Amino acid sequence: MNTNRLLMALLVLTAPAPVLAQPAYPTIGQIIRLDTRLDKLLPKDAKIDVIASGFVWSEGPVWVKRTAPAESFLLFSDVPQNTVFRWTEKDGLSTFLKPSGYTGLGNYSEEPGSNGLTIDPKGRLIFCEHGDRRVSAMPLDGSGGKVTLADRYQGKRLNSPNDVVAHSNGSYYFTDPPYGMPKRENDTSRETDGFGVYRIGPDGAVSLVVGDLTRPNGVALSPDEKTLYVAQSDPNNPVIMAYPLQTDGSVGKGKAIFGADGLKKQDLRGGFDGLKLDRDGNIWTSGPGGVLVLSASGELLGYIKTGVATANCAWGDDGRTLYITADMYLCRVKTSARGW
């Protein structure tokens, strides 16, 4: 080999590996800034990327974190399609589980599949299942199938568990509105009297912790796990509630921290859906207009206006990316906040 060829070979061997650029995704909507504090949470150039589309109603995103970041992935539900989808930057979209929330026969309802998803301290995927009317758990290491965590309260079947959050002590809090129930005239399948927020204790016991909401929907815990937040989707009484957690797992008197009056000031109408908090206690809740960003005390700082009905959100990647399920879209926004 002559000198020139030898030098070229050495350059090839020592050159850094090429960095693969992320694909250019289409964007939708805009960021509405109402308070300068939002600038610390969302960069000036923040945009809403559409990373996948074509769903019937996307819901319940959750980030599955692995030791190797490249092996982490996003899971989310398409409730009408009775499917949980998987998405990664590298591989794109694939089907993770079908059926996801209804294993019976026939057309149970228009929304039979799983809705809210989360990961518990054991690393299991937790499902809110509409059609099978239960909260279930499934190991992600392939060591087994689903097991039921709760499907009844005081002997009566649940309605259609909607969203769930796992506490570090091994308990779970979930909401149970009627959205996955059959919408047939004179349907008699409903057994419970109200639409509650429930707790599954570490021992498996199911207790009612909030019984006076008309349409409890999204549910989340504060970073210190001392406060339970519940979003109500009733358009006649849209509200974000905060409840102090007691040592026995029950909740104290709730406080409305944001509601209809705050929406009216921005000419927004409708209810709230899923919500998450960042490490500083700011609240990111889907609702009228997209994803509303509230301070820890409930002040509206602005919102991520998707332009379509928006269901839920979740933190992913290094904790600074907000993934959003919005109607037929799966979106993401790169933030300056840190989820947890």
Residues 278-314 have pLDDT tens digits of 999 999 999 998 999 999 999 999 999 999 999 999 9
In the numeric block, which tokens belong to residue 109?
A: 């309802």
Contacts with 206 (C-beta within 8 Å, 6 or more apart), sequence order: 150, 152, 153, 198, 199, 200
Q: Is pTM beyond 0.85 here?
A: yes
Given a cut of 60, whether residue 141 has pLDDT beyond it is: yes
Residues 208-249 have pLDDT tens digits of 999 999 999 999 999 999 999 999 999 999 999 999 999 999
Cis bond before residue 99 (omega within 30° of 0): yes
Question: In the prediction, which pLDDT does 22 show?
Answer: 63
- The full DSSP string for 143-209 is S---EEEESEETTEE-S----EEE-TTS-EEEE--STTS---TT------SS--EEEE-TTS-EEEE
Question: In the prediction, which pLDDT does 18 show?
Answer: 46
Mean pLDDT of 44-62: 98
Residues 160-205 have pLDDT tens digits of 999 999 999 999 999 999 999 998 878 889 999 899 999 999 999 9
Q: Are strands 134-138 and 147-150 parallel, antiparallel or unpaired?
A: antiparallel
Return the percentage of the chain with pLDDT > 90, whole number: 89
Given a cut of 70, whether residue 86 has pLDDT beyond it is: yes
Domains and CATH numbers, the chain: 26-334 (2.120.10.30)
Nearest to 120 by CA among 183, 62, 42, 46: 62
Question: In the prediction, which pLDDT does 184 show?
Answer: 82
Residues 18-44 have pLDDT tens digits of 444 567 899 999 999 999 999 999 999
Nearest to 335 by CA among 272, 284, 262, 285: 284
